[in-house]
Amino acid sequence: MSSALRLAGVSKRYWKIDDTPTLAGRALAAASRDTRQGRQEFWALRDIDLDVAPGERVGIIGRNGAGKSTMLRMLAGITAPTTGSVTVRGRVAPLLSVGVGFHPELTGRENVYVNGTVLGLSRQEITRRFDEIVDFAGIERFLDTPVKFYSSGMFVRLGFSVAVIATPDVLIVDEVLAVGDVAFQQKCFERMQAVAESGTTVLVVSHNIAGIRQICPRTVLMHHGQMLCDGPTDAAVTRYYELLVQPGSRDPDDAVVVRSLALESPEQPVPSGADTTFAVELEARRDVAPYVVWIGIGTPGLAPIYSEVLHTGDAGIEAGGTARVGLSLPLPLPDGDYVMQVSVRDAESRAVIARGGPLPFRVAGRPDVTGLIDLCAQFSVERAR
């Protein structure tokens, strides 16, 4: 079976121009006649090889600036590679930024026809599926309003609705879904899964790891323009989390450094509700007065779930000394990805003197449980007599 899309030895170079902020500097630069003065090479992608079969659902993850969006722009035909070749078979529906392909002066109704035509649908096809598009987008009240008055969320709703109804051969979705509400994001992931099962190839760039896990069996991890991992999603996410773990502050003036923050037991994924042990290793560069440790657990987007200040007693840490703060707590959390952060604070003033994290970790929860915590509800059913 031929590939739906293929990148072979692809690299992409940009030139960064160092702007001269003063009038005199600009005049000197212009007089030099050196057109390359102040230019620096920047390689957004390096030697990328990617082969995706028809109907595959592939996630692309990585830190900001990793090259994810550049890769998708090349697959969408927006930019060309500096070296290598890009092959895409069939009709492509790219959703790369909010409002792309919409004319701001036209209404939502008119833009449905314009956007659908760009994606290869005939006017008859658009008319036949118009109600389905509008119903999925949920913007009936604003259908005859110029889209320049739309919010970013309304743009995404309409753009995504047209794209998936067009049944493209390849659907490319960048982080635009992040601007929608949670309910619509879930609706989009479910629709992407459905169109993939009908034969559409789906590529998704997202920081929503839970969504990537839900829809993509295969995930590519990008880092500094290179592919670090291309394989099962769980393996790629584990590598991604390793990249996210940041050492504590290393400012020479810091009195304390968080040398490490680690989940010691049990092994990940942590069973929901299991007693879980974390450890914080501290190193003092100067004498430190009595201190407290703040811990916080939240979602990967840093929405808070739980925080507490741990009182460590009246003792401080002498210069050159170390301390280990152990923490054991149950994690009654639904299935998903989470992060822990810590900070060391002066016991009296509560001023922050060191930070550590975020430490990503995964919890394996019970099926059918969603939300922020698992309350372990007990049900009883009685038959009516």
Handedness of CA 140, 143, 144, 148 (dihedral sign): positive
CATH of domain 5-242: 3.40.50.300
Paired with 57 in beta bridges are 202
Q: Parallel, antiparallel, or unpaired for β 304-311 and 201-205?
A: unpaired
Interhelix angle 108-118/152-165, rounded to 10 degrees, is: 40
Q: How many Cα neighbours within 13 Å face the side chain of 228?
A: 22
Give me the pLDDT at residue 110, please. 93
Give me the pLDDT at residue 36, please. 53
Name the pTM for this structure: 0.71
Give me the pLDDT at residue 270, please. 93
Structure tokens at 89: 């078979």
Instruction: Evaluate whether 8 touches 84 at the Cβ level (below 8 Å).
Output: yes
Give me the pLDDT at residue 1, please. 57
Q: Got the DSSP string for 191-206?
A: HHHHHHHTT-EEEEE-
Tell me which DSSP letter residue 88 carries.
E
The distance of Cα 353 from the centroid of its chain, to the nearest Å, equals 30
Q: How many Cα neighbours within 13 Å face the side chain of 254?
A: 20
- SS3 assignment, position 240: helix
Give me the pLDDT at residue 265, please. 93
243-263 per-position pLDDT tens digit: 776 555 456 677 888 888 999
Residue 37: how many other CB atoms lie within 10 Å: 13
Residue spans of alpha helices (H) in the chain: 23-32, 68-75, 108-118, 123-137, 152-165, 182-197, 209-215, 233-244
- The terminus-to-terminus CA distance of the chain in angstroms comes to 61
Q: Parallel, antiparallel, or unpaired for β 5-17 and 39-52?
A: antiparallel
- One fold for both 5-242 and 249-364? no
Give me the pLDDT at residue 24, please. 62
For the CA atoms of 72, 78, 81, 82, the dihedral, rounded to the nearest 10 degrees, stands at -130
* Residue that has been written with the tokens 């923490």 in this structure: 327
Q: Which residues of 357-370 are buried (b: 16+ CB within 10 A; e: fewer)?
A: bbbbbbbebeeebe
What share of residues in the chain are helix, strand, coil (percent, to 5)? 25, 35, 35
Task: Please state, in angstroms and rounded to a whole number, the distance separating the CA atoms of residues 255 and 59.
Answer: 42
**Superfamily covering domain 249-364:** abc- transporter (atp binding component) like domain (2.70.50.60)
Structural domain spans, the chain: 5-242, 249-364
* Residue that has been written with the tokens 């939300």 in this structure: 371
Instruction: Evaluate whether 59 touches 218 at the Cβ level (below 8 Å).
Output: yes
Task: Please state, in angstroms and rounded to a whole number, the distance separating the CA atoms of residues 307 and 315.
Answer: 23
**Residue ranges in the chain whose pLDDT is less than 70:** 1, 18-38, 97-100, 176-180, 245-252, 301-302
